[in-house]
Structure 1
Amino acid sequence: MNEKKPTRDVYEAVADPTRRKLLQLLADVEESPLNELTIHFEIGRTAVSKHLAILKEAGLVTSRKVGRETRFKLNASPLKEIQDWVAFYNKFWRARLSRLNQLLEEEEE
């Protein structure tokens, strides 16, 4: 299997609200052509295409040609990196809040 290594950081790719919306739209369907994605935005087809290119560079989107049309599909596996990063801080804050709660309870006694 010849997989390309992503050339763009996944955090950078999801930093933009338009790209996050594209990911959300692609999560709801098997795959979608550019023209069907474009109707959800107030920006042009070229701008949507550029956002998709960034998502593709991060490995979050794959594409395939069907005739003259390019269809895009979500590849959510790179999002695991973000999930793991958020999980670390979730654990961090749960521990801190638990300790604060414990201190407050001790103070009430």
Structure 2
Amino acid sequence: MSPGFTEFLLALQDDDTMLRRYRLQDLPALVVSARAEGFAFTGEQARSAVLTLELAVALEHERNGVNSAERLWRDRWGTTYLEYLVDSVAGRFTEPELHRLLAGVS
């Protein structure tokens, strides 16, 4: 079985060169490029995974009494969306947590 979107995010976290290669691609181009590198996920799976991660981060902030919208905006400022997703969203979770959160999605 080919690695899915979770493994793709983990690979981007571990490889700055790979992240730079993908950082300006739109979702359809990203899916095609990732497939060429052996990752198997659809645009819909990627969107669902991203939504799941962003909701998990926002809920955690709310539980902790943090203004999540303000914090997430600061984290997003000056980066591409993919960099923000890899560093500030997915980067908040350990590898096992990412696999657990995204088990039914990607």
Q: TM-score range by the shorter chain?
A: 0.3 to 0.5
TM-score normalised by length of structure 2: 0.34
- TM-score between the two structures when normalised by the length of structure 1: 0.33
Higher Cα radius of gyration: 1
Structure with the higher strand share, 1 or 2: 1
- Structure in which a larger fraction of residues adopt helix: 2
Higher relative contact order (CA 8 A, sep 6+): 2
